[in-house]
């Protein structure tokens, strides 16, 4: 099974559902539709309405983040996994570099993963090195720390997906070479097998994915799908990624 996950970030109003309608229309008639899943993570303001509209359709709706406490608290503007589940979210991103840069610690991320899983949300756990870490050849060291400090064997690996997003690639148009990405993905799966005992959750790639370079990525069989940023805001660009992957 492959995953095509769109992270809208701070984008979208109610009428932006037209983008999802067009993606869903393509998805429903695509001959390869049973080989992959489409998940879109709009901002909090749209999760409930989009979830209702796509309740009986193929696209799943997720959240871009969740708070580190399970249910209710006095934290202003916080949204808990329990609240997300109750408005129809099925997935949540955790650990995106945007949130790490704003102060998310390993302890906070572990709580987010724990409580999201407890509320039957599937977690897309994001990891990735920055430009300096890559230059100093510390990519694998950084990724191992990010994985082992947050994920635990007791977590349900069937509800965990890992997204490798090199920070230096996000929004820059720069991507790892095929050999680099293959090596890194194999290493991530090796660490995940050591955490979860012999089997690895799905591992996705994210960072400047588009309809042109996805053909490079599809040759790397270890990659189980993609976390897509800017291109997911356009139904045409998002569909092109899927089309070209299966071409």
pLDDT, average across residues 160-165: 98
Phi, psi of 58 (to 5 degrees): -80, -30
* pLDDT reading at 240 higher than 90: yes
Q: pTM here?
A: 0.97
Asked if 23 and 59 touch (Cβ cutoff 8 Å), the reply is yes
pLDDT, average across residues 126-141: 97
Tell me what the pLDDT averaged over the chain comes to: 97
pLDDT, average across residues 81-102: 98
User: pLDDT value at position 220?
Assistant: 96
Q: Reply yes or no on whether 96 is catalytic.
A: yes
Residues 93 and 85: their CA atoms lie apart, in Å, by 13
Catalytic member of 70, 129, 133, 165: 165
Dihedral sign from CA coordinates of 130, 132, 134, 139: negative
Please identify which residue in the block is written with the tokens 């955790």: 94
What does the pLDDT look like over 172-211, one tens digit per residue?
989 999 999 999 999 999 999 999 998 999 999 999 999 9
Phi, psi of 78 (to 5 degrees): -80, 145
Q: Reply yes or no on whether 198 is catalytic.
A: no
Element (H, E) at 38: strand 36-41
Write the CATH number for 74.
3.20.20.70
* pLDDT reading at 56 higher than 90: no
Tokens representing residue 67 in the block:
């708070």
pLDDT, average across residues 151-168: 97
pLDDT band at 79 (very low <50, low <70, confident <90, very high): very high
For residue 196, give its domain range. Answer: 2-245
User: pLDDT value at position 29?
Assistant: 96
pLDDT, average across residues 231-238: 98
User: pLDDT value at position 69?
Assistant: 97
Tokens representing residue 178 in the block:
């095929």
Catalytic member of 70, 96, 129, 235: 96
CA atoms within 13 A on the CB side of 182: 9
CA 82 from chain centre, in angstroms, equals: 19
Total domains present in the chain: 1
* 40-60 burial code (b ≥16 CB/10 A, e <16): bbbebebbeebbebbeeeebb
User: pLDDT value at position 198?
Assistant: 83
């Amino acid at each position: 099974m492959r995953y095509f996950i769109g992270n809208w970030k701070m984008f979208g109003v109610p009428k932006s559902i037209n983008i999802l309608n067009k993606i869903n229309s393509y998805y429903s008639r695509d001959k390869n539709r049973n080989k992959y899943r489409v998940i879109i993570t709009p901002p909090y303001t749209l999760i409930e309405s989009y979830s209702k509209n796509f309740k009986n359709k193929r696209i799943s709706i997720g959240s871009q983040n969740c708070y580190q406490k399970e249910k209710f608290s006095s934290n202003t503007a916080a949204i808990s996994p329990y609240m997300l589940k109750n408005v129809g979210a099925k997935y949540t991103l955790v650990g995106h570099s945007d949130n790490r840069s704003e102060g998310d610690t390993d302890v906070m991320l572990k709580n987010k993963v724990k409580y999201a899983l407890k509320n039957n949300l599937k977690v897309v756990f994001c990891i990735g090195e920055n430009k300096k870490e890559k230059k100093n050849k510390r990519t694998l060291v950084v990724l191992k720390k990010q994985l082992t400090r947050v994920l635990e064997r007791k977590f349900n690996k069937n509800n965990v997906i890992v997204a490798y997003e090199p920070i230096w690639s996000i929004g820059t148009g720069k991507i790892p070479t095929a050999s680099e990405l293959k090596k890194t993905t194999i290493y991530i799966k090796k660490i995940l097998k050591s955490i979860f005992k012999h089997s690895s959750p799905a591992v996705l790639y994210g960072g400047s994915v588009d309809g042109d370079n996805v053909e490079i990525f599809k040759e790397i069989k270890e990659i189980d799908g993609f976390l897509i940023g800017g291109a997911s805001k356009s139904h045409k660009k998002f569909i092109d990624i899927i089309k070209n992957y299966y071409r």
